[in-house]
Structures are given as structure tokens and as C-alpha cells.
Copies of this chain bind each other. A is one copy, B any other.
């Protein structure tokens, strides 16, 4: 029954070629992304990985950008949502965002994708729904909640993107540190003074700090 595609007395010489379809294309693209980062995922590589030509993909995916949006959403499937209604709203939000951060930071390329692509699928909708629920539970107004999830997710995405850069060889950041270290004290008094703070924060500390800033800011908008 599983050997539909082989003749009766088959002795496989290579794995059965799976039939093409949107799902398998997304999963294959995600696998390439998570193994080799952003540059590991391309239409051609996905096609090759599925043992076909690049043109075949266009039956199921309009273009590379659309595929990226699907892959991003697929990558977000592991984000753990909080379902417990008795959890304090702030803790719930922090837990969801921590999981979001972890997923982005663990999968090479996913953070970069999150910064430049709008995810297309139900996983991102589940995350939005969950965050909206707890923001409203915290007494944050409709509009603040709607716009607030964007800031929260943006902030966390960029933190994890930075983290990913830091973990690579990262010539760019070295350049930036060098630039800031050779700075003219009289021309840039503030930067000189705060030099260490500008690149400080072990990630965890800065993560919590930023979420707190945004949530406090949202709360303060209640009366506007």
C-alpha cells in the first residue's frame, strides 16, 4: 500500500519520490533554512532537494517571497502559547514572547525572515490571538493592543536577529565596535560616556527590560 509508486517486485535503489505539493515544499524549504541559514534556502535548492527542476515549484508557490512567508509561519509552529486563563496577563505575554524569541534564535535565518516578511498562515495568527487576549486582559485598550503586538514582536525579532549576528563571525559588528571605540570624545560626548552600555546586555536582561518598557508604555496610553 505504501509502495503505490513502485512496480510489484520492487527493490528500491533510492527513496520513493514523494509527490509534489505545497506542504512538502514548505517543509523542505524550512529544513534547508534551519540547516544552512537564509542562503541555504532557495527555489533551486528546494527543487533539487525534491529531485525535480525549479519550474516544478511554481505550480504550488507563486514566487520566492510567498514561499518565505509560508516558511516563516511554519517555523513559528513551535512557539508555545499560554492557554491558562489564571496566569497573570503580563507573565503570559512574557512567556509567549520568550518562546517566540527562542524559536527565532534557534533556527538560523528565521529571525532575518521575521524582520522582512509577513508570515502567512495560522501559526502567526494563533500567536497574535493569544497576545491580544492577554493584552486586553491587562486592561490595555483595543487600539493599543492591536498596534502593541506589532511593537512587541518587532522588538523580539530584532533582538534575536542581533543575537544570531553576534553568534556568527560577524565582521559588521566588530567594525561598529571599532568605530565607536575610536570616537572623538569632544564631538561625541554622550556616545563616549555610554559606550559600554550601547553594546551591553546579555540578551536575557535586555529582553526583559524591553518588554517591560513596551508594556509600561502601553499601559500609560490608557487614558489617551
Say yes or no for A154: interface residue by CB 8 A criterion.
yes
**Chain B hits for A194, CB < 8 A:** 132, 142, 145-146
Query: How distant is the Cα of A151 from the Cα of B156 in the complex, in angstroms?
Result: 10
**Chain B hits for A62, CB < 8 A:** 171
Does B65 lie within 8 Å of A190, measured CB to CB?
no
Tell me if A's interface is mostly helix, strand, loop or mixed.
Answer: helix
Between A and B, 9 residue pairs with Cβ closer than 8 Å are A118-B172, A125-B183, A128-B191, A145-B197, A212-B217, A213-B218, A213-B221, A214-B214, A217-B218
Does A209 lie within 8 Å of B132, measured CB to CB?
no
Say yes or no for A167: interface residue by CB 8 A criterion.
no
Does A147 lie within 8 Å of B221, measured CB to CB?
no
Say yes or no for A173: interface residue by CB 8 A criterion.
yes
Say yes or no for A115: interface residue by CB 8 A criterion.
yes
